[in-house]
Structure 1
């Protein structure tokens, strides 16, 4: 039934409402042109929907457009019907043209609906068949790759992380942050560890990682350096294949960053030929003697063919390993020690001897290829510990079992160092765990002086076992390779440390015992920056710093600065010593220099740090003129005070006794004729 006939059938109800609406609006014959245009527009839109629908049956790309038309099909029909019925009301009669137009519109309308149903039903059937086809297939889980800081691996890591984690809508921000941290290690993990593990800092950590490693220049330099340093070993077919693959890999990376690699034929060919063996180079020259300038593709094909030939030749050149057969060996003769053997058990009487025992090849030393383990290798044992570590590093050995088949993170050995029980081989253990260039300097002079050297200090926040933060005074020492905390500070934090028997070496190779190791969360008092730091626990780090009150008059360059340690000028206890790594990480770009004998101010995440030569306060100078300052021992639990001054005679006697008792203590002595300290030894 056409819409026109529907209108006639509804003449008593719906039509009456339309009529009353037209009367209320007040359409007249003057409105006929506008109404006809409205009806024509609706008709053409319906025709266009049908045209797109017909195309969509064969062209998948047209279906989205057709579905958009179908969403408006009822509105198009309503617009056509409203204009058409109003025209009929005004004319008060319908001619044949109006009836034909109505019938054509109805036909187009129902064709569009039919096409839509056909397309949706076919898509539903295809989806159902696809789901049923894969219902019994369980796809393997995609493992998130680990990134340790290799700039050549960052692009593939970032693409995978973005697809699985960063762009996922099913994960919240804190979950994404945890996935980011768990997928990083080494230098890359250090970049994001400076940010607190909260949702507010995920984007900052992500952007910092991308900014650090998504550098086109660094990537290009690294790849080109690998190309220049590559070597081709034709005596080892497997090593040759690795070199060829590495060369192709670096070229592929350079090409991916839009460098004109295809135009480098002459440069690449010349460079590779300079790395080849003379015989191989002659073979290539003979093969392409008639070619004026061989291309890289020709050289690449030549080298790969040569490599494949060498690999196939190994099937004939390698001698099969013969199993040793020991005849007439009974069960009783088999040693009870842990020996890797394979036995063939034959059903027989209990005392019947076994005719043969097949023994697997003996263990081969990773260092000298001798028939013994590396623990028994005398040549390797003769090396110093540093030399052993270098050998293990250069040969890519596992540091725990000293085997080259895997790395430390994949080592399944249940054994560890017999001395410290840590995850490394006993042959790589160092008796002195910390070789620190600890160089906290307290310059005590026997001559009268009004100057001293101020080292940078800061008030830092350290988190205790319950998550509460406490303020401590930290000293920065750029000569130290490690970080330290006092035992008293650790008690305030209610943190437990791991005991160790290591020592720290300072000036003059004097040592001090380390009580243990602990990991603390250290933050700034002025911002949200944090460090997760491993510290060594000492009974005491050093004496008070500065050793006497400073004269700060005239320091106009620091008056308006937010200092990291507002009480820097007064002598005070040191709770933590932070080494060169933390000092470098915390520095910002600003630096302000003062006048003569005034400290320099360096901005950091902890605030402005002050360091340099400066004057003592007058009261400190007077005390200095009355007595000779006692050398302050580094890492000594006893602290001398400059405030308790006795008579000259008794003080000199006491200092003489103290110097005799502390003759092995570590300190920096200043020459009487000079105010500058001796060169510190690491």
Structure 2
């Protein structure tokens, strides 16, 4: 640039700076006129916002002047300092005038309220600042309180604010500003750090939503627990509403979520109270929950209980019918819950569980359970130790009959027993009882047929070498053997990870993650087998689902049943599949006179097959089948994944067109350079004006670079090299048809060992027609191998060589007829004219660059 051009640019910058000085003087005069005139405060606020923009304008112009070769540095630095002093002085004066009005109103209100309390003789207690420990859910509440009391209070100096802030923080929040020195100037930065760390709207929202789902389930009919559910729900919903979440539209979702956390009684009450056909509103739900909590909180509860005899059930029943109230029921239920947490040692086997979870106890017939309960001197209602002279067990009716006893001691009247109730059995416990348990609430005497699933009792050897009795289900429809997780723990078996899907009825799949190896022994023969068992949480429900009719006198004398309690509902510990099912079967078979029942001899004893009668209304059908995915298919899939791709890729029509265009237009000059053309799918005439947008982006980029001298220097070095290598050339700054200007910006990567800064060209920037250069190009097929294929090939050779192709894209040249599609703006000095350059090589950032 010649001396005349330098002088012209310098004079132009000086003139623009003078305009800014004029605006500064005009604002100063207005500020002086506003002092004491409250009617101009609103206008002053608007002018102040506009005034704040002068700083950026002055900084840009002054920087250009100082970089001019004809500028006097010392003089220009003095001009900058003078402007800075005047700017900050006027800005402070304007803010001071504005702040005079708001505090005055606030002070008057505060004084009037203070006077009111003084007249009433009320002395206000000092308000303490809440503590904040870093919990995202509590940040909004803490932030609002701290801002209103401390942060926005102009009468408190910054140093005191900092001390208050430090004293209000604990835990993780305290650690955020722990290492910041407590000074007046550091307060604003410390508060900004806290807001950046904890004012994360996305994370706060997720925390409150998660807290809604994690609200604990109400375990019993208790007003305190319902009140806690209500309070937690309203707290989190209020926070979500503050975060502008559409809480008002979540009625159905919230009702379903919260009602699923009710105890059974409350859930039943809600179903009765809610409309039968229309969807209830969330307000109705909250009203019900509030009313329910109030009712339960008003009911008295008795902290202690007194002992009852087993026969007191009938008396309680009479009292309940005469004057029983909801309060007594709630009290009894609460006390039952307290009693259930006191004793965890089984009175029968001395194991670490309650007796009604004891396997030995559950395998007994109901009459045997009753005798065991009386023998162990346990309460027939809660199955626990005696409650003492001053204690009373909370009597509750059996769900299957009107008597007061535990449901595990219920004896079905339809099974031909001699006693009509447990109360009579307690009077004469020595009389024989022959009854079975039924799990149907509605009871009928209709005879129905039930298919028998064959079960057997076997011994499985534990890790200590002792045999443990387990009930197994024989299933020839399963390809594998299964064992329950609880049985594994009981036997102490060592688990081995084994991820495998198991298919069942209706193509359902269960993912198995562990297997064990255990030895199974017969109780009636010397049959013994070591097998692998897949571990599952539960194999099936209780088998049979309901008690089956069984006349023990009709059983053949010489038959030893594999499962003596085959007709009583009980759990299943393991399942024996087809692998051993046919080895277990023996040839002998006995036709039983009971219905269509068959006794099949096995290595485990005689198993019961066929059908039998039961008493009940409904029966659940059980079907057990397990299939494993074919191993060869899994291995085949594995090798397909591991095999590097070597076949021909499937190309689309556009891919083939792109390859045809490339093979027709590619050329190589005498120097060995390859020249290509863009594979266009649209005519370049669709491109509109891209010059103006690219020019605006360049000026914005230049403004940012000027403020970062180190980055500016690296950017200029990159562009100098680009031009020096002949990869771009300057062209006349004139508009021509079919041209396209590419915006560019810097990407800085400090971890790079070669290039810290790289200039990125954005060929996806839209022109005013809505099309970009990338929109007109075909992508082309992928010609590079995938990363996985490359890594796999490393396994196929002993030695490999890797190298970096420097400036790989820029080794291929664009045909001269298309370089006008790669124009950019650039200059290395803000005082120089902006120049136009054309990029002559393939540019990273264009759609077809990877293919070319």
* TM-score, normalization by structure 1: 0.28
